[in-house]
Structure 1
């Protein structure tokens, strides 16, 4: 094939009439053989053996589209019409899914879609999928062009790249404009490659290894692009459509629907992590309590997985992969090890990755069970004994329950037993730790509230028809009637928020920590002729009338957290349902904390100001915030190295400050720190014998409550104040 023929071939592929079915026929007959001329004179890598086969809608997908449209319009909690405005929103959301970082398409490409942009609404009602498939096919072609271009740059030799210029690159391009044309996009990709090379060089990787790493990454992505399927386009389009109603409404393809763990919770068998797609990446949403990843300790929420490796094999780059395929790669035999290369949530640069080895295992119910501890607080010569119950999730062994086993495990049954044991140990107050508890069985949250109140409503549930169901605790018995503190953080969600909100509304205890997740919606999975639709059908409300949706539960006493609220939480999700409120239901107020809350906060703040652990936490939070606020990184070697060294010095300093607090010798280098972290993570039996200082602060607040006001004795023998239901 001559250069002229290749150029003609490229023009034919890059300029299809996206609204014409004939364009798809033409593209099928063409080989993707691309030539690029750039200011640097780079020529794209040519592979005449590879062909991109444009995907087309199947006969089953059109009726599924129509069913999805009807379900969304008539049964979703949010009342939203399919019109021209929605059409435009779906269009841009679909493009965000396909090219979220604005690195494949140009402004010229976007302009071609102007007519389609306003036609998607009517097309979605009638199952006309070709316009969306035309968009998908063009994006796939552009992805192939970009990856071929990247490989051509690598083939020229990374030693030819110039790192002496005063250049920089934008870290997050999700809000940036698309580049005007191909020439500008070429320059953007050269900067992206320089960024990847620079980051690896600063981490001590040699150029040969960097070249191999990058070539493997781009070739892997290229292979995925050539393997595009009709269902990929349909699922992306339907999820862009369904996501207009709320972020928890989504379409599952038939393949995804085959696996309950994937389709219902996206739970990864083998490591215990909940994942979701995030542009080209697979992002960790949360860790399953008691699972291998949670026990290993290195994988964290908001980490993004870029590669997956099996024992004895080279890692496979999974950028751009479908979620179900990443799941399949991570799953494996029990006791085998999977290696994940991730971009840490706090990384200042997408090229800064770390490798985590996790031994696969099943998540055992007993490892998610509630557990207890006791702490002793010396206050003015008086010793306070405080019980602590940690609840990782709201669980119930449904199989044992249905089989009639009188000793089946559940959150409420286990906590009742732990309370009885703590009473025997003479506790004067109780701390319930719900941090990182992502929820679980709704009835368990309802029953757990019942352990601390005589009877009454616990949560309200409103459906799309505005019908409200009130769940009640009908058991007048109380397992614990003493002072109570509930610890929460940003990862406390759903059932955790129901429990914490009820305890707060009843004046039954204080909520301490950081604002919770804000997941206050209920989903149901409905079958289609082709796949399934997970759709939001109702919403949770507290007994005081306010929703837990979006806003979550606001603590009475706040403690800062390392978790980035801008990236994790309901209010960080696009199209999340808003907070609102309905009429409160009558409920008892057991104690009015307004007379003492000011003094409790004052004592807490004074104690934290004097606490070396809290000062270290604040320092770490400030450091992480500085990293998050970095919008660009330099591509000049000297400037980048100086910034890299500064960041590594701070990391080591924070780690050694924590070692000093524990009376342990400092690390001499970051390499020693990393080796220690790897060793700790590899030993799943390693535990921190000392309760963390947040739990201990919960005990201190409890001691303040007991020490501050003799009226707290009224909680020890609960008295009901006048029934009231003032909104929070």
Structure 2
């Protein structure tokens, strides 16, 4: 295959691997701020709107027609972007704007963007008024807040109906301010101290709102349209294009966290494996960064309501310097400050690595090699220039297999958890280490043409027992690898259902900016798409991620699952015939495994507490709920420790802090890897 095509497929797969957020985000303006009501579209933006519309209706994988249904979806998306929590518009006001959907066609086809700007100004002006009113109340009416109320507050109203009246909106904002004050007061601050901090936050939000420019409006509108087609098709402004291209080179600096704007917060989407934040160990996906400080004792500056690029600028800094992040947990119940030493996030930090897990079989110790692959990487330039020892996933894994075999391993596990993808070429060649030859993946373009990619070298580098571990964050190239291993019956796939991203994107240049557009879909060699369904493990472990919130199936307007003709017959392997026995032995064994029981308890707790929980607006009740949650977590940890013969903890605070440089598996990781090894040894015994 030509290198250009590999690069095209690499881009599409790497998008998810890097965790790049391409939702509408504000961009820093360096000129004087034009009043919101005076902002208007530029001639170049009018031209780009027409270009994007033409490309989507002619080059997207799906057969796109700009009809009333798509226009209605785009308009609903636009309002959802502008008022995501339904906290600004009443039902009648929202319906009045939705009634203007017919004007959307002229905006997209003819570039008549005044309609889009008018809607933006209408909604955002209401937000500005709400922020001003909130500041007035905080500054002058602190006594109006009741911290003994029996009311509860639901912060996430994305799935709620539009409020029927202004009174309902007033109640929401009163509860919201009370909630935010209580969140700060629970950190041992007085009401006055909490008020002063909240005032600064709202002033920042108001200031950022006043910095809105026409690029903000245009990008918001265009992405409301593009994501109505599918969630991975997006418009990139020139500045966003530059940032995207930097990230595509894997030249990341700072702390190695992928961020996106969500409402007024900067949310952590994912951590770059091996990066500074990942190594430090405290920052977690879904955390929201609410403050940033420089150096170990520098003052933390509130960043709620800031532009995403401004927050990133604050977090980035010279290698070896320290940044302090004040973060808020996703459930609004915990605030903490994290110190991270900045560093460059190099490809080396994301390279494949190995370890050995020991397990007991009939009283004898067996060694299972584990190779963790955080991403599918490839030095394209080194490959094209025939550079000696250029880096690639397959080359590294091949070397690691050799090293593990020198230690006489009894089986091999490929750990693809949290691997969001990367170079398709590497997923293809990696499969080739385990099969002699054959197809690996099918790629279908918008015209229905199917290309089959595979391995033809006729060699097998490792022919022993093989296991593959996946979870909900395993996507794209990971799904191609795991799916091919499963379709050939070459190895056992265990863990959680994977992400389900089976689409291919490419970048098209526009007269201003770029368009990331879905151009093709992936299919397994058995014919089914990985879209939505992902890869279903042969043996499923308790889930640690909410599939209703994470994964392609959780994305609005994602393309549907479908299938093409299979290129190999349905598998009838030894693994398939043994699944029932293997699962029975697995379930019997984990009943007595303290670490696996801890994994099950964590999974059950997540299931019991998923959704959008409300929080009490009563200070005492909120403190009691927090203590109850901490007690539940402590009980789970102590049951695990008791089963392992360890001393119980009196408090979670008594647990020894983890060494950020210690890469040993956590109890949950250990449970997953050890049990995968046990299942693999079961298969080896049954096969013999």
* TM-score, with length taken from structure 2: 0.90
Matched, 1:623 2:605: yes
Determine the C-alpha separation between the residues in 2 that align with 1:222 and 1:519: 37
Whichever of the two has the greater Rg, that structure is: 1
SS of 1:395's equivalent? coil
- Choose which of 434, 440, 443 in structure 2 pairs with 1:458: 440
- Choose which of 311, 314, 322 in structure 2 pairs with 1:337: 322
Deviates more, 1:395-404 or 1:252-261: 395-404
Aligned to 2:552: 570
- Choose which of 618, 633, 639 in structure 1 pairs with 2:621: 639
Query: Paired residues, what number?
Result: 654
What pairs with 1:89-488 in structure 2 (closer than 5 Å)? 89-261=73-245, 269-311=253-295, 312-345=297-330, 347=331, 350=332, 352-488=334-470
Give the aligned CA root-mean-square deviation in angstroms. Answer: 2.5
Note if contact 1:87-1:119 (Cα within 8 Å) is conserved in structure 2.
no
Structure 1 residue 379, shift from structure 2 partner: 1.6
Specify whether residues 251 and 667 from structure 1 end up closer, same or farther in structure 2 by C-alpha distance, changes over 3 A only. same
- Choose which of 538, 549, 552 in structure 1 pairs with 2:534: 552
Determine the C-alpha separation between the residues in 1 that align with 2:58 and 2:36: 39
SS of 1:166's equivalent? strand
Specify whether residues 466 and 283 from structure 1 end up closer, same or farther in structure 2 by C-alpha distance, changes over 3 A only. farther
Deviates more, 1:424-433 or 1:314-323: 314-323
Structure 1 residue 665, shift from structure 2 partner: 4.6
Note if contact 1:202-1:644 (Cα within 8 Å) is conserved in structure 2.
no
Matched, 1:598 2:580: yes
- Choose which of 76, 80, 87 in structure 1 pairs with 2:71: 87
Matched, 1:532 2:514: yes
Aligned to 1:45: none
Structure 1 residue 185, shift from structure 2 partner: 2.0
Aligned to 2:17: none
SS of 1:560's equivalent? coil
Structure 1 residue 642, shift from structure 2 partner: 2.5
Specify whether residues 265 and 78 from structure 1 end up closer, same or farther in structure 2 by C-alpha distance, changes over 3 A only. farther
Structure 1 residue 706, shift from structure 2 partner: 1.5
Specify whether residues 166 and 512 from structure 1 end up closer, same or farther in structure 2 by C-alpha distance, changes over 3 A only. same
SS of 1:299's equivalent? coil
SS of 1:210's equivalent? helix
| Partner deviation per Cα, 1:662-717 (whole Å, 9 max, x = no partner) | 665544445555xx54xx36x4356459971211111100110122242xxxxxxx
SS of 1:146's equivalent? helix
Note if contact 1:195-1:351 (Cα within 8 Å) is conserved in structure 2.
no
Matched, 1:496 2:478: yes
Highest relative contact order (Cα 8 Å, sep 6+), 1 or 2? 2
Q: 5+ unaligned residues in a row in structure 1: which ranges?
A: 1-48, 711-728
Specify whether residues 263 and 238 from structure 1 end up closer, same or farther in structure 2 by C-alpha distance, changes over 3 A only. farther
Note if contact 2:599-2:671 (Cα within 8 Å) is conserved in structure 1.
no
Determine the C-alpha separation between the residues in 2 that align with 1:326 and 1:270: 12
Determine the C-alpha separation between the residues in 1 that align with 2:537 and 2:110: 48
Matched, 1:693 2:671: yes
SS of 2:132's equivalent? helix
SS of 1:615's equivalent? helix
Note if contact 2:273-2:350 (Cα within 8 Å) is conserved in structure 1.
yes
Specify whether residues 277 and 462 from structure 1 end up closer, same or farther in structure 2 by C-alpha distance, changes over 3 A only. farther
Determine the C-alpha separation between the residues in 1 that align with 2:116 and 2:640: 53
Determine the C-alpha separation between the residues in 1 that align with 2:334 and 2:108: 41
Determine the C-alpha separation between the residues in 2 that align with 1:439 and 1:564: 20
Determine the C-alpha separation between the residues in 2 that align with 1:229 and 1:145: 18
Q: 5+ unaligned residues in a row in structure 2: which ranges?
A: 1-32
Structure 1 residue 332, shift from structure 2 partner: 1.9
Note if contact 1:457-1:587 (Cα within 8 Å) is conserved in structure 2.
no
SS of 2:511's equivalent? coil
Deviates more, 1:394-403 or 1:700-709: 394-403
Determine the C-alpha separation between the residues in 2 that align with 1:634 and 1:360: 37
Note if contact 1:391-1:433 (Cα within 8 Å) is conserved in structure 2.
yes
Specify whether residues 292 and 664 from structure 1 end up closer, same or farther in structure 2 by C-alpha distance, changes over 3 A only. farther
Determine the C-alpha separation between the residues in 2 that align with 1:149 and 1:50: 22
Specify whether residues 375 and 107 from structure 1 end up closer, same or farther in structure 2 by C-alpha distance, changes over 3 A only. closer
